[in-house]
Amino acid sequence: MQYDKMTSFEKRSALSLASIYAFRMLGLFMILPVFVFHANSLQGATPKLIGLAMGIYGLTQALLQIPFGMLSDRWGRKPVIAAGLVIFAIGSVIAALSHTIEGVILGRAIQGSGAVGSTLIALLADLTREEHRGKAMAMVGMVIGMSFSVSLVLGPLLNSLIGVAGIFWLTAALAGLGIVMLMLVVPHPTQSLFHRDALPEPRQFRAILRNQELLRLDLGILILHGILTASFVAIPVALQHLVALPAALQWRLYLPVILLAFITMIPFIIAAEKKGRLKEVLIGAISAIALAELGLLLFSATLVGVSLCLYVFFTAFTLLEATLPSLIAKVAPAGSKGTAMGVYSCSQFLGIFLGGVIGGWLFGTHHVGGVYLLCSLFALLWLLTAVGMKKPRPVGTFLLRVAVTSQQEAQQLTQQLLKIAGVEDAVVMVDDQTAYLKIDNSVINKEELKPFSV
C-alpha cells in the first residue's frame, strides 16, 4: 500500500459518499430559485410562511445533525444513513403532495430531520486512512459545491418541465437512489471508530465555544447562508417583475453567471492557500457580498446591473464556501477539528433557517429592497468581526495511526512528534490510537513521520 497515494478503494469510498451527499444537496437547493413562484399557489401562503418554508429544514438539520452522528457510533453508519435518507424522502413526498403552505413547511422540516451529513463524513473516515482523509473530505467538499451551483440552474429548468411538486418527487427518488448506492456501491467498513477529525466530542464543546477565532468563523457561515436564503426570497421575484425575466428562463442568467464566478474564484483560492493570504481574501469576499447586495438594491430594475451584482455575489459566495472550512481546520486545536466542524455546520444550517424567516418577513413588509438592504447590513456586521481576526497560521491537519497503550506513552510520543520540524501542534489519543497533528507543509518532511505510524 503506497503511503502518499489514495487507493482505488479510498477513491471509490470518497466518490460514492460524495454522490449521496450531492443527491441530498440537489434536492434541497433545486427549489431555492423557484419556490417563491410555486408558493403563491398554495393555500394560506404569506411572505412570512414562504420564507419559513424555505428555511425550516435548516433548523431541524442544525438540531439533529450532531445527534445522528453520535447515534451512528452506537447503531452503525449505514443503518443511520439509510434511516436519514428514508426520513428525507418522506419529507419530500409530503411536500410534493401538499396544497397548503403548512404542509410544505412540515415536509421541509422532515427533510431536514434526515440530518446524516456528519454520519456520511464519519463513514468516510472509517473507509480512509488517516493520512488521506483530508483529500477524501476535500473531494466531498468539491462535489457539494458543484451540486449547489448545478441546482441553481436545474431548478428553473425542471420547474418549467415538472413544476416544484415534480422537483420534490425527484428529490424523493434521489434519496432512494442514495440508499441503493449506499448498500451496493459504498464499501462496508471493517470497523467503525470514533474519529475526532470527523465527529464532535461532547467534552470539547465548552472549549470550542469559548474560542473567539472559531466563533468569528461560525458567525460568518451563519450570516453567509442567512444572506443566501434571504436573497432567494427576493431575487427570483425581482427578476420576473423588475427586469421581465420569466421564471422559466432565469436559468439562462444563472448558468453563465455561476460559470464565470467559478472561474474567477480560482486565482483567489490560490492566493489564499498558496500565498498565505487567507485573511485578506476573506475580508475582500465579505466586502464583495456587501457591495453585491447593495448593488441589487440600487440596480434591481436593470438586467445588466442585476447580472453584474449576481456575478460578484456568487464569486464571493463560492470563494467563502471554500475558504471558511479551511480556516476552521487551521484555527481548531489539534484533535478538535470534528467538534469545531460540528459547531460550524450547525451554525450554517441555523443561518439558513434565520435567513428564510427574516427574508420572508422583510419581503412582506418592505419587498425586495428591504431584503437586499438588510443582507448588505449583515455582511457589514460580519466584516467588522472579521477584521479583528488573527492572521491564520499556514498549517494543515495531518493524522497518524499510532500504537500507544497508556497515557504516559501518548505523552512521550507527543513530545517526540513536536520535535520534528514543521509539526506545530500534536495530540496523541489512546482511545482511538491516533496522533492529530497541525503541520506546516512548507517545512515538514513527511518521511520523518513514517516511523511513528502503524
Residues 443 and 402 both lie in one domain: yes
pLDDT digits (tens, 9 = 90+) for 213-257: 999 999 999 999 999 999 999 999 999 999 999 988 999 999 999
How far is the C-alpha of 435 from the C-alpha of 439, rounded, in Å?
Answer: 12
313 within some domain: yes
Residue among 310, 295, 357, 361 nearest 153 (CA): 310
- Do 379 and 400 fall into the same domain? no
d(CA 107, CA 271): 42
The tens digit of pLDDT for each residue in 80-110 reads 999 999 999 999 999 999 999 999 999 999 9
Specify whether 432 is located in the same domain as 323.
no
For 414, the domain range is: 396-452
What is the arithmetic mean of pLDDT over 369-395? 92
Single out the residue in 358, 387, 416 at which a domain terminates: 387
Same domain, residue pair 376 and 409: no
- State percent of the chain over pLDDT 90: 54
Residue 24 in grid coordinates? 441530498
User: How many domains, the chain?
Assistant: 2
Q: What is the CATH number of the domain that holds 411?
A: 3.30.70.100
Residue finishing a domain among 349, 370, 387? 387
What is the percent of the chain where pLDDT is above 70? Answer: 98
| Residue 400 DSSP SS3 | strand
Of 369, 67, 100, nearest to 230 by C-alpha is 369
94 shares its domain with 236:
yes
Contact 71, 358 (CB under 8 A): no
**Interval 269-306: pLDDT, tens:** 888 878 878 899 999 999 999 999 999 999 988 999 99
**Are 271 and 206 contacting, i.e. CB atoms less than 8 angstroms apart?**
no
Say whether pLDDT at 3 is over 70: no
Domain match, 89 and 179 both: yes
Q: Which three cell numbers stand for residue 32?
A: 431555492
More confident residue, 194 or 325: 325
Q: Which residues pair with 43 in a beta bridge?
A: 100
Which residues, in sequence order, are CB contacts of 429 under 8 Å at separation 6+? 196, 335, 410, 435, 436
pLDDT of residue 1: 38
For residue range 15-28, list pLDDT tens digits in order.
Answer: 899 899 888 888 88
Residue 348 has pLDDT above 50, yes or no: yes
Is residue 54 domain-shared with residue 105, that is, in the same domain? yes
DSSP of 228-277: HHHHHHHHHHHHHHTS---GGGTHHHHHHHHHHHHHHHHHHHHHHHHSS-
Tell me: do 380 and 405 sit in the same domain: no
pLDDT at 4 (0 to 100): 61
**Residues 425 and 369 placed together within one structural domain of the fold:** no
| Residue 2 included in any domain | no
Mark which of 334, 361, 387 sits at the end of a domain: 387
Average pLDDT of span 151-173: 93
**Residue 444: CA atoms inside 13 Å, Cβ hemisphere, count?**
22
Is 294 contained in some domain?
Answer: yes
Residue 333: name the closest of 432, 207, 434, 203 by CA: 207
Ramachandran angles phi, psi of 423, nearest 5°: -85, 110
- Collapsing DSSP to helix, strand or coil, 226 comes out as helix
